[in-house]
Structure 1
Amino acid sequence: MLVKTRGIVLNYIRFRETSIIAKIYTEQLGVQSYIVNSVRKKNSGSRIALFQAFTLLDMVVYTSHKGGITRISEYRSAYPFISIPFDIRKSSILLFLSEMVSRTVKEEEENPSLFAFLYQSIIHFDELQTGFENFHLVFLLQLSHHLGFGPSSGAEIVEQVAFSSHAAGAANAPTVLALQVYETFFDQLMRTPNQAGIPNGKVRRELLSVLIRYYQLHVEKLGEIKSLAVLSEVLSE
């Protein structure tokens, strides 16, 4: 059976000599994996570029009642990026966020609200010319609500992270008092993101570290976020 759907590429792995297996979050079918043949041939042009992180696609895909990996019948770009591929800061942020989505969104079923949020956020990010240094923080805070564990305040994030660290007996675990300085920043990011007064990259990285720990409390086996090191390096200033 063929289904027409929009899709958001999460990642891909190489498969055999010239093919890939792409993990894509689809509007109609949730998270799916597809074999895409011959996209790594020398004469395949820019087709492999269509399977980079968070690329937006229009597709016609095969489905099977048995589930598992299927194939894409047709695909094309639904929105050609105008800035992301040419800005190392933006591409690093997008790579990190695609990994976070890949590790947290698992369902193989339709979720119109979540899909719309992801799709519109990616386009908005591509269109931003300036003022996007907090985008990944705002994105993760908003995504958490779609995943069912969104915080109501900065204090909620801080308290959960601090108390969980101490309960686990973590060495040098931060206290609630030590983390309280971040409460206001989280509140600003949730309520007035465009006016969030985060002073520098160091504080931004610390906020992200706390936020990832918050995710780890709510997402089973979140695991190591491999793209985090690259993002931290690129956004070090």
Structure 2
Amino acid sequence: MLQKTRGIALSYIRYRETSIIARVYTEEYGLQSYIVNSVRTARSKNNKIALFQPLTLLDMVVYYKNDRDLHRISEVKTSYPFQSLPFEVGKSTIAMFVTEMLNKVLKEEASSPVLFRFLIDSVLFLEEAKINYENFHLIFLLKLSFFLGFGPESSREFESQLRENSYPFLPDDEMETALNIMLRQPLGTAIKLSRSARNELADALVTYYHIHIDSLGEVKSLPVLREVLG
């Protein structure tokens, strides 16, 4: 049955000679996998494979059957062509990290319109932001944790859970203030953090996710993020 849905591209893998299997978080069906044929050839029209780069916002018409793990796409286009996110090093590095985390924590389950709206708003903020996005990944992970069911109510709770799991996290007053602002304020809020504090908090947040998600595994983009943003 053909259905319309919006989606956020997360990743893809090569499939056979010319195709891919794309993972997309959709508004209507949650996380889904789609076979996309004939996109890895010189004759592929309109460079369609570019539509499945990290965090691309999609309008799709899909064939959907609830008893299948793999689906097909009838029509696809981007709903918001990016002008900065894939081309600015800082933003593209953040997008790589955020996408890796989403691939690890989102599961094949029923749709969540509230989570989808949060993800859309977050991607649009990162694309459009001119300033105050260097801490985006930190605020994003904190706010995402609430949708996943383990968001900390305060910086003290965050610190306590880390220490209870033998992670030596001892923030100074500046970082504790920053954490509380991140928990309570929107993505674009200006927050003062040194490079070293930003790195330390990124490591702590990934560890916090490890505590709550056993299958998280290694986050390969984290060292790159530290190097580029810090």
TM class by shorter-chain length?
Answer: over 0.9
Partner of 2:111: 110
Question: How many positions carry a matched residue from both structures?
Answer: 226
Partner of 2:202: 208
Q: Give the Å deviation of 1:235.
A: 1.3
Q: Give the Å deviation of 1:40.
A: 1.1
Q: Give the Å deviation of 1:67.
A: 1.9
SS class of match (1:222): coil
Where in structure 2 are the equivalents of 1:78-227 lying within 5 Å? 78-165=79-166, 173-174=167-168, 178-179=170-171, 181=173, 182-192=175-185, 194-198=189-193, 200-227=194-221
Work out the CA distance in 1 between the residues paired with 2:100 and 2:121: 18
Instruction: Please list the CA deviations of residues 40-88 of structure 1 after superposition, one character each: whole Å capped at 9, or x if unmatched.
Output: 1113242111100110100011112322111111100111012112101
Partner of 1:17: 17
Work out the CA distance in 2 between the residues paired with 1:196 and 1:66: 46
Work out the CA distance in 2 between the residues paired with 1:16 and 1:231: 32
Work out the CA distance in 2 between the residues paired with 1:110 and 1:65: 12
Confirm or deny: 8 A CA contact 1:162 1:179 kept in the other structure: no
Question: What TM-score does the superposition give when structure 2 sets the normalisation length?
Answer: 0.93
Identical aligned residues as a percent? 50
Work out the CA distance in 1 between the residues paired with 2:30 and 2:184: 29
Unpaired stretches in structure 2, ≥5 consecutive residues: none
Instruction: Please list the CA deviations of residues 117-152 of structure 1 after superposition, one character each: whole Å capped at 9, or x if unmatched.
Output: 001110111000111100111111111111111111
Partner of 1:43: 43
Where in structure 2 are the equivalents of 1:65-84 lying within 5 Å? 65-84=66-85
AA partner of residue 116 (structure 1):
R
Work out the CA distance in 2 between the residues paired with 1:6 and 1:53: 15
Q: Give the Å deviation of 1:180.
A: 5.4
AA partner of residue 22 (structure 1):
A
AA partner of residue 26 (structure 1):
T
